[in-house]
Amino acid sequence: MAKMVLASASPRRQELLARIGITDFEVRVPQADESYPPQLTPQEIVCHISRNKSLALAGAEDEVVITADTMVFLDDKRLGKPADEAEARAMIARLAGHEHSVVTGVTLRSIDHERSFSSKSKVRFATLTEEQIAYYVENYHPMDKAGAYGIQEWIGYTGIESIEGSFFNVMGLPVQRLYRELECFIERLPS
């Protein structure tokens, strides 16, 4: 059996991987170039960055490395992680009352094989007041989240009207698809 390596410092990704029954994995955080060519589509961007993260880790022969990158897009414009609370409030205000896309790219890598795929979810926020936005930012500190929010937090419970696609993808790891992809990937590895 291959040893699993999750290349992410995200506690959400670690929890999600454990929740699908992969409890014996090592965490390594790659230092990778996260730039991308400007002509790429959102799905191509996240796969490109995920692949770069996987290339930054030298895996051993018996390892499967899992890397991921999640981005939020509003009207095809990327909303990254906010630099401060003011930027977080501005991002959430832009999302409020609108639909946006959350796209995650995942790469599976062994010493001889590589597989990348993406998952896209559409999320619609309700209209939010300035007070609601300020409450969330001040109490949940969303600076480490693309688009300045976590769907699993207060704002997800109170501010999200609908979601089309994987809820877990919005958290940062499309675990149902990952589980299927891992099964196929591991079957192809030499015994």
Q: What is the DSSP string of 78-93?
A: EE---SSHHHHHHHHH
Q: Is 76 a catalytic residue?
A: no
The full length of the chain comes to: 191
Token pair listed for 173: 């790891």
Catalytic, out of 62, 69, 84, 144: 69
Q: What is the DSSP string of 8-76?
A: ---HHHHHHHHHTT--SEEE----------TT--HHHHHHHHHHHHHHTS---TTEEEEEEEEEEEETT
Nearest of 65, 20, 46, 55 to residue 120 by alpha carbon: 46
Q: Which residues have a catalytic role annotated?
A: 69
